[in-house]
Structure 1
Amino acid sequence: MEKINAAIIISVSEYKNISKLPGCKNDFKLMSNLIRATEKYDEILEIHETTTSIKVKEKLTNFFMKIQDYDVNELFFYYTGHGTFDGKDLKFALTDFSSEKLNATTLSNDSIDQQIRAIDPQLTVKVIDTCHSGVPYIKGDSDLSQVFEQKKNIKNCYFMFSSQSNQYSYADKLSYFTRSFCESVLNYEGDEISYTSIIDYIKDNFKRFKGQTPFFVNQGTMTDMFCVITDSIKNIDISNYMNFENNDFKSTTDLVKLIKEKSELYLTKEHIENVLIKIKSELSKLETLNNFNDLFNLEIEEVKNYSDILEIERIAKWVDENPNDYFIKVKTEKVSTKEYERSIFPSYSNFLNPIRYKAADISTKLDVIFDTLKLKAKPKFPAILPYQCNIVFLLSKYDMKVFYSFISFVETGWEIYDPDIVSNWNNFNILYQEIKSGQGDLSRFTKIIEEFNNYIECNIKDRLDIE
């Protein structure tokens, strides 16, 4: 059977119901030219003009059918455009994207993987550069870890994802992530560059961008090569891909239309409070889960201005390090560190006492009914202890970032309980509009209470030594 390398390059820049991404056109041109300049790939599928869901899925199916008769050594998959996450799977939004027809108008990461497994390549590389403006957010590492746990069924895999990026705007001519990937190859001074070298370059490059942290899954040999540095690669000038086509900015009328479309995602304070009330109602369903009502009474405490939250400093650190639009003020505190510095002369030494500041707490001037909920599981029996789930909402005019953690307690006196173990904060984003309009559901919050219930059951079994 003949051996081949295959590449799939998909760019979606035109959208009917959400904001267009003109920068994706330049992403496509640059990545397409780089892939061809490697002189490595025998079969290349490029999708960038007609990108409706039916056309894209038809072209993909036909391409996979075409290469299934070959022994595929490497499959390279690249996507640039809007991305969304439904709580279980990563989905790539196509031109006719609609929240009401989420599965029909997106390209599912899981379905792509099924097609990849069918051709059984020796190596799979996926480079995903997504923007989430106007669609439900892709959270980042914790969600993505769950998505890619299933990659074990693919022999060798390198996955590179732009993660939490909201980088595309009409001022961006080329996405940071795609540019960084290509620059790693164009700037390479050796003869042949590996995928691990590309990943290392991107990681170093993104240390400058606090608002975006790329995500990587490496299940390859760590020695797999991307390409030989050909003369064609050396001749690629990235500056040629930094201009928009003339028709990307047609008129001031288009700008006004885009602003109006974007403004539809914004809510009033009253509407935001209605969203919070819906979320609280969903969380109260914890009482209906297995065994919970038999063992505990549920109390949901509303908290304002983020007061009395265990390990809030971790959230403060996130806010401080990630540019955002949330109505949050970070409180800092002085930290004195003593750093012993030896002189070049053995008989001399001195202590330096630099004063630095660290994020310690957060506050807000936004006066809403609550910005934190504490789900308190109060035991009905003396053999079990209390548990608590803290859910913190960082609020902007169009979205919220939700942090949540679980707390177990220890009894330090007669019916006196102190916090024992606090889990790490998990977090995700959600658009208000998705809840308000009924286009989205509250599945992410259902997932929180399911996780909390499982956390309680596991903790009780461990503590009471129950199989």
Structure 2
Amino acid sequence: MTSTAILIGNAVYERENDLPFCENDLQVFTSLIEATGNFDRIISKKNANADEIRELIRENAPTDGVNSNIFFYFSGHGYNFGSELFLCGSNFDSSRPHETGISHEEITDLFRAVRPNLLVLVLDACFAGASLIKSASPIPVIQKEGLRSVIQFSSSLDNQTSLGGEKLSEFTKAFVDASMRKTEGPIYYSDIRNTIRDNFIGNESQTPFFVDQGTGRDLFVDDASKLEKFREHYRKDWMPTDGNVLEDGDEISAEGVSGVGRIRLILEKLENKAAEPDKAETLIGSIFDGVEKEVENHGFSEFFKLEKRSYNSFAEEGPKELMIRVLSKEERPDRLVTAELKKSKKNPLPFDRMAGLIASLYDEWEEHYDLELNCTLPRVQLKIELTPTYSSLQKINLILTCAPSLHHCYVFELTTVHPRTDWDHFSKQGREIVRRWYKLGWDDQTNSLIQKIVKGLDDAVTEHLSETTKQLDGG
């Protein structure tokens, strides 16, 4: 019998924002799994598209009955379509989730055919808390046909986003830390689960979700001492150092400097990186002007009329939800931008008040968004509209938004396609093609970012033209 671990970390996406820490997640998790000595085969894959994920599972978990234990790990974007979770391939397109993503149901079906003694799923992605079978019951139920023992670790509930980190995602780090809590004796999956649960108590933004229909005696590693070398490397490479780290590769050593002098040194370093009105205006202007120039030089004018609008506020509604979800979780030492996501319970109906425990399981919450630019800048948002000159084409919008903070500029990119609602009017609500965000230092170069944004728009236009002409050719 063979034990197999399939580990995937998607850090680079064609249409979604990149997740650099997912590459680190994969590296650390691969080292951890290797250290357990429990797996005969370990397959570690970076930046896999959906078809590659499917083939990795089919090739390395064949239906020949030789797999006793299977461990599947994914770190990357998750997407909730209806009530179904999709793990996003590197080529993910929200308009084609079944093709460019792989659903939770499809993953479990692929493993169900293998009939392993134990299946462990660790899903570090937004909306990862999907149960293993759809059910009207609020209590998750697992369809175990073909699966003898199943354990699932999910980074968040099915209506929550997962939090990234500077080096590792919060959930992957929590899993790794929990696996190292014991220094001797066996480590069970239930040990890891219990530690993670305690570590996230009080975290309203992210609540890990667990499914456990194992025996309660399923081993992660039979002897904790096997992880000793991994523990040493982990502390050295991934734990905080004795210095004060401002940015990657920019560490202030405390050696030889103490007291007021040390504080002054740190503050001076931070001051050099901090934004000033002129510096903020220059960086944002560089991005907007660069994108405008590149778009004008593309061949869009043959099929579209180009219009540009700039705003000194967050005037466009489209990016607001993404901005709030990102900024509300970022550690910012200022409130140049207010970004808050608040929840309040909906007023229950009289029947709900009488329904007792059952009704409490169905508590519904309303989300309230508060997004406000508190500082003054001449431009923080750019909207580029491509209005078609042919009636068979749809309108394409690109909205770029810059949210300033003292040490970083957050850039949000949203590209949408809008069908006609009248002869000369288009739907206000468009279909998302690209939704990404970036985190820049105020002294960073912008050329590569500009090229990536324009390429995203160019790809959206090319794909729309291709789809439209195919439909007409087929007609």
Q: TM-score, normalised by structure 1?
A: 0.53
**Aligned residue in 2 for 1:27:** 25
Q: Distance in 2 between matches of 1:210 and 1:11?
A: 26
Query: Quick one: which amino acid aligns to residue 41 of structure 2?
Result: E
The answer to whether structure 1 residue 117 and structure 2 residue 112 are counterparts is yes
Quote how far apart the aligned CAs of 1:100 are: 1.4
Contact 1:139 1:429 in 2 (8 A): no
**Aligned residue in 2 for 1:53:** 50
- 3-state DSSP of counterpart to 2:12: coil
Quote how far apart the aligned CAs of 1:72 are: 2.1
Output aligned runs, 1:366-377, within 5 Å.
none
Q: Which runs of 5+ in 2 are unaligned?
A: 241-246, 250-281, 292-309, 330-337, 370-413, 417-427, 434-475
Deviations 1:431-459 (A, max 9, x none): 9x89932349xxxxxxxxxxxxxxxxxxx
Does 56-65 or 113-122 show the bigger shift? 56-65
Structure 1 residue corresponding to 2:349, chosen from 399, 402, 407: 407
Contact 1:174 1:242 in 2 (8 A): no
Output aligned runs, 1:256-295, within 5 Å.
271=317
Contact 2:163 2:169 in 1 (8 A): yes
Structure 1 residue corresponding to 2:141, chosen from 135, 146, 149: 149
Q: Distance in 2 between matches of 1:238 and 1:198?
A: 17
Contact 2:183 2:225 in 1 (8 A): no
Quote how far apart the aligned CAs of 1:101 are: 1.5
Contact 1:123 1:155 in 2 (8 A): yes
Contact 2:129 2:154 in 1 (8 A): no
Change (3 A) 1:230 1:197: closer
Query: Quick one: which amino acid aligns to residue 87 of structure 2?
Result: F
Q: Distance in 2 between matches of 1:74 and 1:214?
A: 23
Change (3 A) 1:402 1:271: farther
- 3-state DSSP of counterpart to 1:100: coil
Quote how far apart the aligned CAs of 1:155 are: 1.9
**Aligned residue in 2 for 1:83:** 78
- 3-state DSSP of counterpart to 1:151: coil
Q: Distance in 2 between matches of 1:156 and 1:143?
A: 12
Q: Distance in 1 between matches of 2:132 and 2:69?
A: 27
Quote how far apart the aligned CAs of 1:223 are: 1.4
The answer to whether structure 1 residue 72 and structure 2 residue 64 are counterparts is no
Contact 1:173 1:242 in 2 (8 A): no
Change (3 A) 1:403 1:436: farther
Structure 2 residue corresponding to 1:108, chosen from 100, 103, 125: 103
**Aligned residue in 1 for 2:406:** none
Query: Quick one: which amino acid aligns to residue 364 of structure 2?
Result: N
Change (3 A) 1:323 1:10: closer
Quote how far apart the aligned CAs of 1:430 are: 12
Quote how far apart the aligned CAs of 1:87 are: 2.2
Deviations 1:385-406 (A, max 9, x none): xxxxxxxxxxx97989796676
**Aligned residue in 2 for 1:92:** 87
- 3-state DSSP of counterpart to 1:173: coil
Quote how far apart the aligned CAs of 1:143 are: 11
**Aligned residue in 2 for 1:199:** 193
Q: Distance in 2 between matches of 1:69 and 1:142?
A: 27
Deviations 1:19-59 (A, max 9, x none): 111111111111101111111111222111x4223333333
Output aligned runs, 1:286-305, within 5 Å.
none
Contact 1:151 1:157 in 2 (8 A): no
**Aligned residue in 2 for 1:12:** 10
**Aligned residue in 2 for 1:211:** 205
Structure 2 residue corresponding to 1:190, chosen from 184, 207, 212: 184
Change (3 A) 1:64 1:430: farther
Does 216-225 or 148-157 show the bigger shift? 148-157
- 3-state DSSP of counterpart to 1:222: coil
- 3-state DSSP of counterpart to 2:71: strand
**Aligned residue in 2 for 1:283:** none
Query: Quick one: which amino acid aligns to residue 234 of structure 2?
Result: I
Contact 1:53 1:104 in 2 (8 A): yes
**Aligned residue in 2 for 1:227:** 221
Contact 1:407 1:420 in 2 (8 A): no
Q: Distance in 2 between matches of 1:428 and 1:82?
A: 24
**Aligned residue in 2 for 1:381:** none
Change (3 A) 1:57 1:142: closer
The answer to whether structure 1 residue 159 and structure 2 residue 152 are counterparts is yes
The answer to whether structure 1 residue 437 and structure 2 residue 430 are counterparts is yes
**Aligned residue in 2 for 1:386:** none
Q: Distance in 2 between matches of 1:83 and 1:217?
A: 18
Q: Distance in 2 between matches of 1:69 and 1:38?
A: 25
Does 235-244 or 19-28 show the bigger shift? 235-244
**Aligned residue in 2 for 1:415:** none
- 3-state DSSP of counterpart to 2:201: helix
Aligned length: 293
Structure 1 residue corresponding to 2:41, chosen from 36, 40, 43: 43
Contact 2:128 2:154 in 1 (8 A): no
Change (3 A) 1:89 1:427: farther
Quote how far apart the aligned CAs of 1:60 are: 2.6
The answer to whether structure 1 residue 238 and structure 2 residue 231 are counterparts is no
Q: TM-score, normalised by structure 2?
A: 0.52
